[in-house]
């Protein structure tokens, strides 16, 4: 016959409950240990403030110092020297410079008028009456007509040099000339990429007609003018 244990005497019957209770107690103690806070007791005195007793504060007395007054300066009276009259002294007479009714007036014919030096050469942008290209006499804007007629003249007489074409020369030739007082063209200057193109530009300018000269204050003057001529191969 087998021996049976009494159920109330079994040690493992409530082991799971005891384990959970112990685990809960340990977690509670760990939480309390982590959240436990300590505070330092506050002191009765302030480290950042220094208390000074009123008895130690002394008032500095104000001392008045009187400076000595400067001694008065006594000036001696001026010495008056009596000089005897000199009968031989000659007095200088100063004539008045202002004119009066007796002053003689210079005749107008005796006054020489200096001649004003007029500048012989006036730039194109400053000229009062610009030179007139033949055919622009009746135009209102003679400067614009002059430039338009210059372009027509260049297109009419333009001829590309054969040597320049064979050599492949092209570029811009800046040419400047002066319209003289009689309307003729002179003082031709040019600058370009090659001498052949410069000579062709001079040839075109040399065929310009005689123009009406420019005037400044009604007097004929020299007027320089510049224009570029472009040589471009097709």
The CATH number that applies at residue 171 is 3.30.1150.10
- Does some domain include residue 17? no
- Does some domain include residue 154? yes
Q: What is the per-residue pLDDT across 79-133, written as a single tens digit (0 to 9) for each?
A: 777 767 666 666 666 666 666 666 665 565 655 655 555 568 888 888 888 898 8
- Does some domain include residue 203? yes
Share of the chain above pLDDT 90, in %: 3
Across all residues in the chain, what is the average pLDDT? 77
Q: Is the pLDDT of residue 46 over 80?
A: no
- Does some domain include residue 123? no
- Does some domain include residue 64? no
pLDDT of residue 36: 82
Q: What is the per-residue pLDDT across 182-226, written as a single tens digit (0 to 9) for each?
A: 888 888 888 888 888 888 888 998 888 888 888 888 889 999 998
Q: Which whole-number Å values give the CA distances from 152 to 136, 146, 149, 208, in the listed order?
A: 13, 10, 5, 11
- Does some domain include residue 36? no
- Does some domain include residue 174? yes
Domain count within the chain: 1
pLDDT of residue 77: 74
pLDDT of residue 50: 47
Q: Which helix (H) or strand (E) holds 198?
A: helix 195-206
> Highest mean pLDDT: which of 1-10, 49-58, 96-105?
96-105
Phi and psi for 104 in degrees, rounded to 5?
A: -80, 130
Query: Domain containing 208: what range?
Result: 142-231
pLDDT of residue 103: 61
pLDDT of residue 90: 62
Q: Is 124 exposed, middle or buried (0-12, 13-18, 19+ CB in 10 A)?
A: middle
């Amino acid at each position: 016959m087998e021996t049976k244990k009494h159920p109330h005497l079994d040690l493992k019957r409530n082991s799971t409950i005891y384990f959970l209770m112990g685990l809960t107690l340990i977690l509670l103690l760990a939480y309390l240990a982590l959240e436990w806070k300590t505070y330092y007791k506050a002191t009765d005195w302030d480290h950042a403030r220094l208390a000074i007793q009123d008895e130690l504060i002394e008032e500095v007395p104000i001392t008045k110092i009187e400076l000595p007054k400067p001694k008065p300066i006594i000036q001696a009276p001026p010495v008056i020297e009596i000089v005897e009259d000199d009968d031989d002294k000659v007095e200088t007479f100063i004539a008045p410079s202002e004119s009066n009714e007796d002053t003689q007036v210079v005749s107008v014919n005796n006054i020489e008028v200096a001649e004003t030096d007029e500048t012989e050469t006036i730039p194109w942008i400053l000229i009062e009456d610009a030179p007139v290209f033949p055919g622009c006499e009746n135009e209102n804007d003679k400067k614009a007509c002059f430039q338009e007629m210059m372009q027509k003249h260049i297109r009419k007489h333009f001829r590309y040099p054969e040597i320049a074409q064979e050599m492949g020369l092209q570029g811009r030739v800046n040419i400047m000339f002066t319209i003289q007082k009689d309307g003729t063209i002179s003082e031709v200057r040019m600058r370009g990429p090659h001498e052949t193109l410069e000579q062709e530009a001079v040839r075109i300018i040399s065929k310009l007609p005689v123009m009406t000269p420019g005037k400044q204050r009604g007097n004929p003057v020299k007027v320089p003018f510049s224009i570029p001529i472009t040589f471009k191969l097709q």
